[in-house]
Amino acid sequence: MRNIRMTISYDGSTYYGFQTQPKGNTVQDVLEEAIRVLTGEEATITASGRTDAGVHARGQVINFETASPIPVERWALALNSRLPDDIVVLQAEEVPLNFHASYHAKRKTYRYGIDTTKFGDVFERRYRLHVPLPLRLEEMRRAIAHLKGKHDFTSFASTRSAKSSHVRTILDARIEASEGKLDIFLTGDGFLYNMVRIVVGTLMWVGEGKLTAKDVKRILEAKERSAAGPTAMAHGLMLWEVQYDD
Amino acid sequence: MRNIRMTISYDGSTYYGFQTQPKGNTVQDVLEEAIRVLTGEEATITASGRTDAGVHARGQVINFETASPIPVERWALALNSRLPDDIVVLQAEEVPLNFHASYHAKRKTYRYGIDTTKFGDVFERRYRLHVPLPLRLEEMRRAIAHLKGKHDFTSFASTRSAKSSHVRTILDARIEASEGKLDIFLTGDGFLYNMVRIVVGTLMWVGEGKLTAKDVKRILEAKERSAAGPTAMAHGLMLWEVQYDD
């Protein structure tokens, strides 16, 4: 057996998320079916992490074992010709058999995209949340700075989170503004369920003047989901990059 | 009666072009229906020009007459709430009754978008032609420079063009390159049927090494459609901006 690692990108608009589930129509289902058609094998994919329904990925990382003799440099093209046009394999490489896309992920970066134009940009409508209200950018930047470092992020986790520890380290948190757009980037050693979307929902309240940057520090310390803002919609979220130590 | 001018944007992916036609499902049909629902009037829209099936618009300009008392500053929001999410009204203003979106258009800019990444960017797949081959950018820039100025563009017009004169003036022609993307911008006093797409199809041949920049000068002088390259696919084309003298 060989262990293949791939970087993939997908438009999550029409999928019920990454991970296989009874309703079907997931990114994992489609990828495993393409591998089955290509190799005849029933491979099981492991991803760096799940993405929810409607969430996109610029650089998701997956791995799977295969006995197929197809040279690694041919996998991307071979699979892309069998995948729908909203899922693309960007890179494939052979990795040691013990490599695991989830356990070995060291840092993940998510981007949440906001469309700040008055009536919305039709070409970004699937990938950005449309917020036509004026946002207090500098206050949002002061707010997001409070999240950097090692904290208990219980306030920013779905109450459905099943993780035993809610302590995570945010290595970088920044907001890039360009004409008609805000890009919120969060890099961390891991994220809790809905964490980025709750951070963004809370930042929107800061931007709209419902909360101050200082309130975000207080929310973090409260360690209670009800202290934070709403969960921002899925379609603005994109798994940007996953980094490994190798 | 009042004459209303609007700037609109649309994702042309699912439409049979701008102009009303027997098959239905055009941008014009959808806009006229939204105006009918809003005002009860059977307005007829005039656009700065048609766009073909699959072609997009960032800034198309239209006008129509109305007896509706709705204040002009409310038109954009009122129509947007009645339009599908792939058509958006960006601006509305009252103009003199003799204003005509097509006759009075002085300059139009089109953008043709190319995705030069190896396997394609899933988030740009509806708006850019995917060309994974290496392209000779500097030779393409030398080629496009030959098109600037006043010329007979018969070589770059569909043989179905019904215009009596094929003389047009290209005011600006440039190629912007960024990571994984090429943007070809053409600004002119008018364009013949399929002209931008034939220019781009020819530039692709220059980029791929099938033609030189000097060949483009020769093609222009041939005044024959068969001298030029192919018609590039519709989905990379976007009507970028229309300018008027007012």
Nearest to A215 by CA among A207, A206, A224: A206
Residues 6+ apart with CB under 8 A from A160: A193
B197 touches chain A (CB under 8 A): no
Q: What is the pLDDT of residues B10-49, one digit of tens each?
A: 999 999 999 999 988 999 999 999 999 999 999 999 999 9
Tokens of B111: 């953008």
Taking CB atoms and an 8 Å cutoff, what residues of chain B touch A122? 9-11, 85-88
Residues B103 and B117: beta-carbon distance below 8 Å: no
Does the domain made of B107-244 have the CATH classification 3.30.70.660? Answer: yes
Shared fold status for B2-95 and B107-244: yes
Residues 6+ apart with CB under 8 A from A165: none
B112 is in an annotated binding site: no
SS3 content of chain A, % helix, strand, coil (to 5): 30, 30, 40
B77 touches chain A (CB under 8 A): yes
Rg of chain B over all Cα atoms, to the nearest angstrom: 19
Each domain of chain A, given as residue ranges in start order, spans: 2-95, 107-244
pLDDT at A246 over 80: no
pLDDT at A101 over 90: yes
Q: Which CATH class is domain A2-95?
A: alpha beta
Return the bridge partners of B170, or none. B149, B188
> Which residue type, as a one-letter code, is found at position B29?
D
Nearest to A235 by CA among A158, A127, A132: A127
pLDDT at A5 over 90: yes
Residues B182 and B200: beta-carbon distance below 8 Å: no
Summary mean pLDDT of chain B: 96
What ipTM was assigned to the predicted interfaces of this complex? 0.93
Q: What is the pLDDT of residues A155-174, one digit of tens each?
A: 999 988 888 899 999 999 99
The interface residues of chain A toward chain B in range 2-21, judged by CB-CB distance below 8 A, are 9-11
CB-neighbour burial class of residue B102 (10 A; exposed 0-12, middle 13-18, buried 19+): middle
CB contact under 8 A, B56 and A123: yes
Percent of chain A scored above 70 by pLDDT? 100
What pLDDT does residue A163 have? 83
Polymer length in residues for chain B = 246
CB contact under 8 A, B119 and A77: yes
What pLDDT does residue B23 have? 87
Q: What is the pLDDT of residues B62-102, one digit of tens each?
A: 999 999 999 999 999 999 999 999 999 999 999 999 999 99
Summary mean pLDDT of chain A: 96
- What DSSP designation does B85 have? T
